[in-house]
Structures are given as structure tokens and as C-alpha cells.
Amino acid sequence: MIAALTHAARLARAAFVFAREGVFGVVDPALIPPAGQVPIRLARLIERPGAKSGPRLSRALTRLGPAYLKLGQFLATRPDVVGVAMARDLEELQDRLPPFSQDEANAVIAASLERPVEQAFVSLSPPVAAASIAQVHRGVVEVDGVHKQVAVKVLRPNVAARFKRDLSDFFFVADKAEQYSSEARRLRLVEVINTMSRSVAMEMDLRLEAAAASEMAENTKDDPDFRVPTVDWDRTTHNVLTMEWIDGIPLNDHKRLAEANVDTVALGSKVIQSFLRHALRDGFFHADMHPGNLFVDPQGKLVAVDFGIMGRLLPKERRFLAEILLGFITRNYRRVAEVHFEAGYVPPHHSVENFAQAIRAIGEPIHNRTAEEISMAKLLTLLLEVTGLFDMRTRPELILLQKTMVVVEGVARSFDPKLDIWKVADPVVREWIQRNLGPIGKVEGALTGAGELGHTLSSLPTIVSRAVTVLNQLEVMTKDGLVLAPETIAAIGHSERRRTRGRTVALWIIAVTFIGVLMVMSRL
């Protein structure tokens, strides 16, 4: 009860900020049930002057603080939840906040490294960038008598407590939505917030970001056109991450790229092929490949930074991705449909033929247009509509993959507007398929399967013993029945009545608080 009131108060404040920034003005009234249209109209009364211009939602999320800012960035990767148009708007959300003081940064570094800053670094600059979770300083370290430039990422003080508080509000809203909305259950909103929560938890332990960078560096050590900055593990802890400083040209600085005579057409192809190679070959990819996180070093290699958001694909998903891409490239829509069914993504009661027909509706417009006219955002929209029509449940790992593909293509197209993503992707996809689905891949798959079968056979006696125990317990329950003590039954009933009554009261309080705040503020 008290927790519900606390959530209600904080959510009422968030609703007020949304109303002031005009967020409710972009909501389609036709999508709102009749009971919710009155609060929406009330919210429109307190829009601040000038709220109708610019990115309304981005402004509101920035005002609400780090957790809401991160929520907006995360939802930009989930167009299946917020819609493609809203996701595209959220892509412009800049994760930039005022930096915290140098003294606070020094205190965090000294406490984390257990030594004064002067002993850990030869020099440390003021912050050069600040975001919702951490900020970055440029530093110099001495290694074997040689001075080296490093990037020092420092976690914001007390950021974990604030995220924990706001995430509890998000869980509250998602849980209530799933209780009363079948569409919310299909989209698995609680799982969406769970995924975000896990992602944020990993971002707030900078050792995990360092580990992600180290893993990607190991995966790509033999790649001729891609590399990852080296981690300084001696100066990396939970709250501090120290890495090699990259002096390359950021991909969003087109002027410097032109002055350096970088082949931008080849660079666009390099971005796409590197991403696909990581996703298919390694099953581990950088999921935040916007131009500010990508550099070209003096040797012409592509360098990625900021490994807070990473994506993983198991062999099943990698095979799914490869066959889907190859199916679109070769226009084999029947195979694309079959892959969805084989992976268990589409329920078996649907027709493969009907699903293939729907996939054809997505693929044919692509092949009937020139390369520069193909919109991956439009393709994503159609794909999400089709999967919803055929009861395909949300697959977070695939949504993140699809979203990253759209971002990567946007980066590549900024260098070559006529880029044909299918032509560029074709050699990488075919190489993976030949390697993993061809004769060598089948032999390796058979050996792996034989190993798994041997492990299962070795565990068979334990499995049989557990099965006999369960059967004996079921036999006792069938013969004697499941008996509950009278006090247990009474306690269950009492608990259920309290839960129902508390939930009802909490919902009424939330509604009254929301409307009351809006009406009071409308008089200001």
C-alpha cells in the first residue's frame, strides 16, 4: 500500500513533466480508451508555451533525470513497443548531462583505485564528455618509463541508488499494464524493463564494460579493418575504467574525414560488414554503433568505443539471421518463412504458406527499388507488423539486432547514399553459411551433437532416479489427496483479500493524484 502510494507520487511528477513538455499532444486520441481521454485533455491544458516545437519526449526525459534518459535510449531500440516513428524520434535523444566536479571525480578514482590520483596518473584533464551514468576524462599514465594517453571513465556518485528507485517505478507501471492489457502481455513489458534493468546494471559496473571490450578485442584480433582499444586493467575497477585513448577521426566529423582523404565509400561498406561479421561469426556485437562511437585511426582501421551496450546471439539466432538475410537476398521467401517456424518463433498452428506470402510482401518492394530508395526502417516496420499478425512473441535479442542494423546502415548511407546493403552483406552472409551450414559445419555439428548425447547418457541414472521419486510423490498425492490445514486456508484467504483491496485503493489513489496534480498546476 505504502509502496503503491510512493510509486504514485513519483509517477504523478513524471506525468506533470510530460504534460508541461507537450508529450501528450503527440498521442493519437483514437488509441486511448474513453476512460483515459479526459486525463489527456487535462494534461494538454498545462503545456508550457513553446512546448509544441522540437523533440517533446526527449526534452521531458532529459528533465526527469538519468534513469528516464536511459529508458528513452533503450526504448529507441524497441520499435515493437513504442512504434517506429517514436523510436526514430528517440534516436535523437542525446545522453548528455552536466559533468560532476573534478573533486568528486578525483574522490571516486582515489577510493576505487585505493591510491591518490597523482600516483595512478601522471595527469588527468577536466571531463571531456558527460552522460547519464559516467563521464570521461583524458589522462596520461606511465608504463615502463613511457607516457601513454588514456581515456578514464568515472561512474557518477550515487547513480545506482537513483536508478534503483526509478526502475522500481517502471516495473510498477509495466506490471499493471500486463495485468489489464493483452497487448502489453504480448509485448512482455515486464521483460522489457527487466532487460533494461540488466543492461543498466552491467553499464554501472565498469569492469563488465572492460570485459566486453576485452572479449571483442580477442574476437577481432585478426580482422584487418577493425580493432578495439586496449584496456588498462591495473587502473580499472567497478567505478573506474581506463582504456587506450583513440586519436582517430570520429565518423560524425565528415569534414576531417574529407581532409584526411578517407575513402568514405569503402568506409561505409566496412561499417556494415564489420557489424555483420561480429554478429554472425562471433555472436557478440556492439549494439550502440552510432557515429560518435566509431573512429578511423591513422592506419585506416575502424575503431569502436563505449562497450556499455552489447548484443549476443546464440548459434540458433545466428543461423536464423544468416538464413533470413540470405532468403531476402535470393528472394527465397518460402525458406525465410520456414526458418521462423523451425526456430519456434511463429506458433505451429499458423500456415507456412501464408507466412511466406506475408514475407514476400516485405521483400518484393525492396527488390523493385534502387538501392538508395530502400528504407530499412520501413522494412523493420513491415516485419514487426507481420510478426505481430502471426503471434510471434517479442524476441529482445533480435529486436536489438534489427535496430542496430538500421543504425549501422544509416551510418554507412551517410558516406554512400547509393549503398546497396544487400550487395555489401552478401559475401559475409554467404561465407558464414558455407562455413557453418556446409560440409565442414555439418561435421562439426555432428561431433558437437555426439558430445551432448554422451553427456546426456552419462546423466541418465540420475534422471531416472529423480523421475522415480517424483512418480512416488504423485502416487501419494493421488491416493491421499492434497490436504491444507484450516489455518493455512484462512491465511490464504486473508492475504488474497488484503492484496485485492490494496491494489484497488492504490489504483484509485494514482488516478486521483494524477488528475488533482494536473488541475492544480493548470491554475499556475
Catalytic site positions: 288
* CA-based torsion, 155, 156, 157, 161: positive or negative: negative
Surface-to-core class of residue 477, CB atoms within 10 Å of its CB (0-12 exposed, 13-18 middle, 19+ buried): exposed
DSSP single-letter state for residue 354: H
- The whole-angstrom distance between residue 59's C-alpha and the CA centroid of its chain comes to 21
C-alpha to C-alpha distance for 246 and 169, rounded to whole angstroms: 38
Contact 147, 122 (CB under 8 A): yes
Phi first, then psi: give them for residue 240, nearest 5 degrees: -135, 135
Quote helix, strand, coil % in the chain, to nearest 5: 65, 10, 25
Max CA pair span of the chain = 85
Which sign, positive or negative, has the C-alpha torsion 214, 218, 221, 225?
Answer: negative
Taking the alpha carbons of 58, 60, 62, 65 in that order, is the dihedral positive or negative?
A: negative
Cα distances (angstroms) measured from residue 136 to each of 127, 245, 303: 5, 11, 17
Q: E strands along 313-381, which residues?
A: none
**Residue 290 Cα distances to 137, 230, 404, 406, 411, angstroms:** 21, 20, 9, 10, 7
Q: Which residues 6+ apart lie within 8 Å of 406 measured at CB?
A: 376, 377, 380
- Per DSSP, the three-state class of 141 is strand
**Full DSSP string of 178-220:** HHH-HHHHHHTHHHHHHHHHHHHHHHT-HHHHHHHHHHHHHHT
DSSP for 45-80? TTPPTTTTSS-HHHHHHHHH-HHHHHHHHHHTT-HH
Residue at grid coordinates 543498466: 200
Give the CA count within 13 Å in the CB-facing half-sphere of 398.
22
Residue type, 505: V
Give the 3-state secondary structure of residue 299.
coil
Round to whole Å and give the CA distance between 310 and 287: 5
Among residues 303, 398, 291, 307, which one has the least CA distance to residue 344? Answer: 398
What is the arrangement of strands in the sheet containing 226-227, beginning at the earlier edge strand?
Answer: 226-227, 302-304, 294-296, 249-250
Take residue 434 and report the three cell numbers written for it: 558455407
